[in-house]
């Protein structure tokens, strides 16, 4: 009986464009659901959650999967140099 030796080969990392393109179907589905109109508050909340998930996936190729989104400050000083969160 022959034994088969399998060699793990490193798969090339998908290009940035490939990674972004994988998100397109989910964004299209989100847009389609939003076009249906007459959204209840629950529907609206579900759409927002999906949009947030898509947004995380959208920035992941640029920042890495483990990166946390940077929240905008709640208040900026008049000169724009200080913020509070």
Report yes or no on 80 lying in a domain.
no
pLDDT band for position 24 (cuts 50, 70, 90): very high
Identify whether the C-beta of residue 50 lies closer than 8 Å to the C-beta of residue 30. Answer: yes
Report yes or no on 82 lying in a domain.
no
pLDDT band for position 8 (cuts 50, 70, 90): low
pLDDT (tens digit per residue) in 57-69: 999 888 865 555 5
* pLDDT the model gives residue 65: 59
Report yes or no on 29 lying in a domain.
yes
Report yes or no on 1 lying in a domain.
no
Report yes or no on 10 lying in a domain.
no
Q: Whole-prediction pTM value?
A: 0.59
Helices (H), 1-85: 16-21, 24-35, 41-63
Min mean pLDDT across 19-23, 29-33, 34-38, 64-68 is at 64-68
Report yes or no on 83 lying in a domain.
no
Q: Write phi, then psi, for 76 (nearest 5 degrees).
A: -110, 145
Report yes or no on 72 lying in a domain.
no
The CA distance from 35 to 48, in Å, is 14
How many domains is the chain built from?
Answer: 1
**What is the domain range of residue 49?**
16-67
């Amino acid at each position: 009986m022959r034994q088969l030796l399998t060699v793990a080969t490193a798969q090339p990392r998908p290009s940035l464009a490939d990674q972004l393109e994988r998100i397109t179907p989910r964004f299209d589905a989100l847009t389609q659901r939003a076009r249906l109109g007459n959204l209840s508050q629950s529907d609206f909340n579900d759409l927002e959650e999906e949009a947030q998930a898509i947004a995380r996936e959208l920035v992941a190729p640029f920042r890495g999967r483990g990166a946390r989104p940077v929240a905008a400050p709640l208040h900026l000083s008049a000169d724009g140099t200080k913020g509070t969160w």
